[in-house]
Amino acid sequence: RKEVEQDPGPFNVPEGATVAFNCTYSNSASQSFFWYRQDCRKEPKLLMSVYSSGNEDGRFTAQLNRASQYISLLIRDSKLSDSATYLCVVNPSGGSYIPTFGRGTSLIVHP
Amino acid sequence: SAVISQKPSRDICQRGTSLTIQCQVDSQVTMMFWYRQQPGQSLTLIATANQGSEATYESGFVIDKFPISRPNLTFSTLTVSNMSPEDSSIYLCSVEDGVGKGETQYFGPGTRLLVL
């Protein structure tokens, strides 16, 4: 089993739709979780951290389910500009760390 | 967040040659990393660049092929040696910024390498 798994997609949704991605991780000792966004031919950029209680940033909601070892990202009211690849990142322990990146989920938002 | 620049942004090289990629950060950082990302794939960590000591390489990557320098807390280089077409990839420098933000990473813009 891969350490971090994501459905590569692509998820093809119309503007205004709500879309959710899941990411599963295999290391139960993982401590920190993040979602990154990567646009075509660009570097990954931090979208949001994922906190145990769940957190929201505008149209984006991230949740963590430790029991089932997955994190999720929900995007409401999708915009064309949301089209990108979303990378799940898992940090195995606190402090200095070597994170594990998922392969990414591609999202295409069409008019 | 730290501002990171990389040079060159892209290059086309002949097999058997070597290319050195530079990574400059606008502030002192403890942790610097070098990643590779092949088309359609996720990021693969090559090594952690340690200031004042030898880099720590991940499985499958060796110093002879990917020598790394880290002369100070704001600069690092990665050399791709004796290149082959299989080395064609995007090479990304990143830094860890844990000051008040948790252990997040910030990436440079990447170096796109094509080996003929």
Alpha-carbon distance values, A28 to A3, A73, A90, B22, B115 (Å): 10, 19, 11, 36, 40
The pLDDT value recorded for residue B100 is 45
For residue B34, the chain A residue with the least C-alpha distance is A98
How many of the other CB atoms lie within 10 Å of CB of B8?
Answer: 12
What pLDDT, on a 0 to 100 scale, did the predictor assign at position B1? 74
| pLDDT (tens digit per residue) in B5-43 | 999 999 999 999 999 999 999 999 888 999 999 988 889
Which one of B42, B45, B58 has the shortest CB-CB distance to A104?
B42
Is the separation of the CB atoms in B80 and B87 below 8 Å?
Answer: yes
Per CB-CB distance under 8 Å, the chain A contacts of B45 are 98
Model confidence at A93, pLDDT cuts 50, 70, 90, reads: low
Closest CA to A46 of B76, B72, B11, B105: B105
Q: For CA atoms A108, A89, B102, A66, give the dihedral sign.
A: positive
DSSP state of B108: -
Q: What is the chain A residue with the closest CA to B57?
A: A98
Q: Do B45 and A98 touch (CB under 8 A)?
A: yes
CB-CB under 8 Å, A44 with B96: no
Size of interface A-B (CB pairs under 8 A): 48
Mean pLDDT on A60-67? 95
Interatomic CA distance for residues B34 and B67, integer angstroms: 11
Question: With 70 as the cut, is the pLDDT of residue B47 above it?
Answer: yes
Contact B43, B75 (CB under 8 A): no
Chain A interface includes B102 (CB < 8 A): yes
pLDDT at B39: 83
Q: What is the pLDDT of residues A25-38, one digit of tens each?
A: 998 888 889 999 99
Tell me the one-letter amino acid at A65. N
Spatial separation of the C-alpha atoms in residues B85 and B96, rounded to whole Å: 30
Question: Is the pLDDT at A96 greater than 50, yes or no?
Answer: no
How far is residue A24's CA from residue A10's CA, in Å, rounded to a whole number?
Answer: 17
As a whole number, mean pLDDT of residues A6-16 equals 95
- Strands B10-13, B111-115: parallel, antiparallel or unpaired by DSSP? parallel
- Taking an 8 Å cut-off on Cβ atoms, the answer to whether A43 and B92 are in contact is yes
Cα–Cα nearest to A99, from B91, B31, B8: B31
Instruction: Give B57-106 pLDDT, tens digit per residue.
Output: 999 999 999 999 999 999 999 999 999 999 999 999 999 876 544 567 89
Is A49 an interface residue toward B (CB < 8 Å)?
yes
Q: Which two tokens stand for residue A68?
A: 């089932």
% of chain A with per-residue pLDDT over 70 = 95
Predicted confidence at residue A43, as pLDDT, reads: 93
SS3 label, residue B31 = coil
Q: Which amino acid is at B61?
A: F
Q: Do A96 and B96 touch (CB under 8 A)?
A: yes
CB pair distance less than 8 Å for B43 and A87: yes
Contact assignment for A42 to B110 by CB distance below 8 Å: yes
Residue B55 banded pLDDT, cuts 50, 70, 90: very high
